[in-house]
């Protein structure tokens, strides 16, 4: 039995609710980012899209979708071992609550990290703080190496 099936079975055993299929919220826990992005993009009702965006303190579905694309793209680049620090990353980050991005930084890793930081902070402030501390610690660990420090300063931290 897969983890998903065990999880759904346990849900029904502990909740007292009966049904043939898992509730939507339980099913969505197992979707990957790409599938959730496709689901969001498939929504026809703009009011529903706007309500979802507002849940993340984003005013428009366009910016929410941009942030979602940034997260999915960054995840895929990392999963396929792409070099990120000197790349002109494929999606320009939209101006929004994550940062007031300027033309110079729209395609930089710095802006992508700020989007992830913003979105994660909307979900879990503690997890966001942990992630940012890990990034900071990683930079600190390598600051004494001139080549790496130059990459961090010029290509990552948003100068």
Residue-wise pLDDT for 20-33, tens only, equals 666 777 778 888 88
Tell me, yes or no, whether 55 lies in a domain. Answer: yes
The range of the structural domain enclosing residue 136 comes to 31-156
Question: How many domains would you assign to the chain?
Answer: 1
Quote the CA–CA distance of 67 and 56 in Å, as a whole number. 11
Whether residue 5 lies inside any domain: the answer is no
pLDDT above 90 covers a percentage of the chain that reads 43
What is the per-residue pLDDT for 129?
96
pLDDT score at 42? 95
Q: Is the pLDDT of residue 122 over 80?
A: yes
User: Is residue 26 domain-resident?
Assistant: no
Residue at 88 is within a domain: yes
What does R_g of the chain's alpha carbons equal in angstroms?
19
Residue 100 lies inside a defined structural domain of this protein: yes
**Higher pLDDT among residues 73 and 15, named by residue:** 73
In a domain, 67, yes or no: yes
CA 74 to chain centre: 8
Residue 24: inside a domain: no
CA distance 121 to 55: 12
Whether the pLDDT of residue 158 is over 80: the answer is no
pTM: 0.80
Rounded mean pLDDT of 127-146?
A: 90
Tell whether 56 is covered by a domain.
Answer: yes
Mean pLDDT of 121-138: 94
């Amino acid at each position: 039995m897969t983890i998903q099936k065990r999880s759904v079975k346990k849900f029904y055993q502990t909740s007292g609710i009966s049904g043939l299929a898992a509730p939507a919220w339980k099913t969505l826990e197992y979707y990957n980012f790409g599938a959730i992005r496709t689901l969001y993009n498939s929504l026809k009702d703009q009011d529903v899209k706007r309500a979802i965006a507002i849940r993340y303190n984003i005013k428009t579905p366009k910016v929410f979708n941009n942030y979602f694309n940034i997260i999915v793209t960054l995840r895929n680049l990392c999963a396929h071992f792409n070099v990120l620090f000197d790349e002109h990353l494929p999606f320009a980050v939209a101006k929004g609550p994550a940062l007031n991005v300027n033309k110079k930084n729209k395609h930089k890793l710095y802006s992508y990290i700020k989007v992830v930081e913003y979105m994660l902070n909307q979900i879990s402030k503690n997890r966001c703080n942990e992630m940012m501390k890990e990034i900071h610690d990683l930079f600190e660990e390598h600051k004494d190496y001139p080549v790496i420090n130059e990459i961090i300063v010029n290509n990552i931290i948003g100068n």
